[in-house]
Structure formats: structure tokens, C-alpha cells
Amino acid sequence: MRIVLLGAPGSGKGTQAKLLIEKYKIPQISTGDLLRAAVAAGTELGKKAKAAMDSGQLVADDVVLGMIQERLATPDSKGGFILDGFPRNIPQAQTLDAMLARVGQPLQLALLVDVDIEVLMKRLTGRRTCGSCGAIYNVYYTPTKVPGKCDKCGGSLQHRSDDNETTVRNRLKVYEEQTAPLVSYYKAQGKLRTARGVGSISDIFKSISDIIEAQMRPLAAAGVAVSAAASAGQARAASARGAAPAAAKKALKKAAKKVAKKAAPKKAAKKVAKKAAPKKAAKKVAKKAAPKKAAKKVAKKAAKAKK
Ligand SMILES: [Zn+2]
């Protein structure tokens, strides 16, 4: 399953991604991790990325895409992947689609973990961390028994400065502005599914798994249909389109048509008609009757004889 994960900061999509990796045995492709690894390894793309970062610029999309493409070439991503943190805007989504089409691994699902903005606000601004043991609390959802004191070690709780209301609201606003167009983009492709990101981690994971399995079922069925289509010589078109849900549906339709054709064999009828009116055969006869080549042969033989 090839998935793009969409969700706001605080939506819990990182936690869900980890669970998905375990359950479906597919890797998470995080552009942040790829960048760090490529820079550390000193690859061509890593050098380009480092040059950009050293001069305080954003790493160009084509460098990031190149890294994703290299990552997709490794064996563990053949069964699918979860892309997190990329794309962030429409141009990135378009170049990603083009690249994935080139390598024959088109996206199958854009999964949005949806959480109301006021819940996100509470999750992010309510976060408190114990300065001594690192335990994490939330003043709204998981408060300590004594305000400001860690339940585990009695250490004092800290509030990160970038978790204040103004900063968080801005971050969420930026996210909204960037992601809303992406949601429409994938919706238009018929690939968007939304899971409510509220409730327990396991409840959310259950609804995400249900979505994924609902997507996988028709794909598996299409696998059969595609192989049927292949026998009819339509395999090339099908594999070029990949196993996207839309393609899968088409393949199913084609397979159904095939069965219908067998019941009412138009092609067979055409064949018979051709045999009855044998144009090609007639041509052959015509050629034999006007034997240009034979004449040439004779001419050649005559020339040889002269020698
Ligand atoms: Zn503590």
C-alpha cells in the first residue's frame, strides 16, 4: 500500500504511522530523515542539500524528490510505503505524482487524520514536560495530581515556549493554508480518505486500518482481473497505470466485459466474416499473379548466365 499521510501538528499521525509500519510491514519515508541520512553519507543529493542548508536556503524540491526516488528503489519499499511530511503543497504533490508514475509506484491512498482545531489547540498548548524525568502530561487531558509537579518523580513541569497559544495558532493556520489544497487535490483523484483523529490511540488506529483494508480489497481483486486482461493483451496499459483504485475499477470492468464478450463473441464473428471474404488471401493471389519478384529473379539469373 502506497500512502501519503496528512494531518496537523498534534493530530497524532506520527504515532499512527509507527503502528502502520508494524502492522503492514512497510517503511515510513520521512523527508527529514532522508535529508539527514543523505547529508551524513555525503551522496550527490546530500551534498546539494547541505549546500542549500549551509547557505540558509530551503532544500529544492527536486533534491528531496531525488532522495525519495532513491529510497523507493530499495527492496523494503516494494510492498509500499508511508510518506510523511511531503508533499506540503500542490506543486510538490504534482512532481511527486509524476515521479511515482515514472517508477511505476503511484500513490494509492491519501490518508487524512482529521482533528478539530480547538482540540489541536488544547493538545499542543496543554503539553507539559517534567524537567527531571521527561514524563509528558497535558493539563487538559492528562493532568498531574498536583498542578505543576510530576506524578512520577515530583519534578517541576515545564511548558515549552513554542507551545504558547499565539505560536501554536499560527502553526495551525499555516498548516491549514498548506493542507486544504492538498486535501482537494487528492479528493479529485479519488484517493482521499479521512479518519477522525479523536479517541484512544487504538480506536483511531482501528479506523485507519479499516480504511486501508477497504482500499486493499478491490486492489487484490483487481490483481486477478489484471492478469485476465493480460491474456487479452491489455497488460501493458494496466501496468502503466499501476494499481491505483481507479485503474483497478477499470480493470474489473474490462474483465467483466471479457466475460460478456465470450458469451456474445463479436470478435469470433468478425473472424468468420473475414474468412468468408478473404481480402488478404486475395492480395496474396494477386501478388502471385503479378510476379515482380520472380521476374527480377529471372533477370538476375540471366545476368549470371551471361557472366
Ligand atoms: Zn518527573
Residues 203-221 pLDDT 10s: 999 999 999 999 888 767 7
| Lowest mean pLDDT across 11-20, 77-86, 92-101, 271-280 | 271-280
pLDDT at residue 223, as a whole number: 65
CA 125 to chain centre: 32
Could you give the CA distance from residue 185 to residue 187 in angstroms, rounded to a whole number? Answer: 5
CA-only gyration radius of the chain, Å: 31
Q: Confirm whether 127 is a catalytic residue.
A: yes
As given in the structure block, the three cell numbers for residue 143 are 493532568
* Cis before 143 (ω within 30): no
- Lateral strand order in the sheet of 109-114: 28-30, 81-84, 2-7, 109-114, 192-196
Return the ∠ at Cα 33 (arms to 29 and 39), rounded to 5°.
130
CA-to-CA dists, residue 237 to 225, 228, 233, 248, angstroms: 13, 13, 9, 12
pLDDT over 50 at 288, yes or no: no
Is-catalytic flag, 160?
yes
Q: Annotated catalytic, 13?
A: yes
Those residues whose beta carbon sits under 5 angstroms from the ion ligand 1 are: 130, 132-133, 135, 150, 152-153, 155
* pLDDT of 224: 61
Candidates 47, 50, 149, 171; catalytic one: 171
Q: Which of 2, 48, 123, 127 is catalytic?
A: 127
Residue 7 has pLDDT above 70, yes or no: yes
Q: Is the pTM of this model over 0.75?
A: no
